[in-house]
Amino acid sequence: MGNTLQIVLTGGTGFIGRPLCASLCQGGHRITLLTRRKEETQRLCGPSVTAVEWNGREAGAWERCLESADAVVNLAGAPIADGHWTDARKRVLAESRVLTTRLLAGAMSRRTSKPCTLISASGIGYYGASDDCVLDEGATRGEGFLADLCLAWEAEALRTAEFGVRVVLLRTGMVIELDGGALPKMLLPFQLFMGGPIMPGTQWVSWIHRRDHIGLIRWILTTPSVSGPVNAVAPEAVTMNRFCEVLGRIIHRPSWLPVPGFALQAALGELGTLMTTGQRVTPAKALSEGYVFHYPMLEPALRAIMAKE
The pLDDT value given to residue 76: 94
Indicate the CATH number for domain 6-173+208-233+282-293: 3.40.50.720
The pLDDT value given to residue 1: 44
Single-letter amino acid code for the residue at 231: N
Helix 298-306, helix 240-250: angle, nearest 10:
40
CB-based contact 242:204 (threshold 8 Å): no
Query: Any idea where the domains of the chain sit in the sequence?
Result: 6-173+208-233+282-293
Task: Give CA separation, 168 vs 49, 136, 219, in Å.
Answer: 23, 15, 12
- Helix (H/G/I), strand (E/B), else coil: 175: strand
Which 8-state DSSP code applies to residue 125? G
CB-based contact 125:147 (threshold 8 Å): yes
**pTM across the whole model:** 0.94
The pLDDT value given to residue 39: 79
Q: Which residues of the chain have pLDDT under 70?
A: 1-2, 262-268, 309
How long a stretch of residues is the chain? 309
Which residues are CB-neighbours of 195 under 8 A, at least 6 positions away?
A: 186, 187, 189, 244, 247, 248, 253, 254, 255, 256, 257
Tens of pLDDT, residues 28-65: 999 999 998 887 887 777 778 899 999 989 999 999 99
**Interior CA angle at 167 toward 162 and 171, to 5°?**
135
Q: For residues 61, 168, 302 and 28, what is the CA-based torsion angle, rounded to 10 degrees? A: -50
The pLDDT value given to residue 309: 59
Listed residue (302, 112, 87) closest to 211, CA to CA: 302
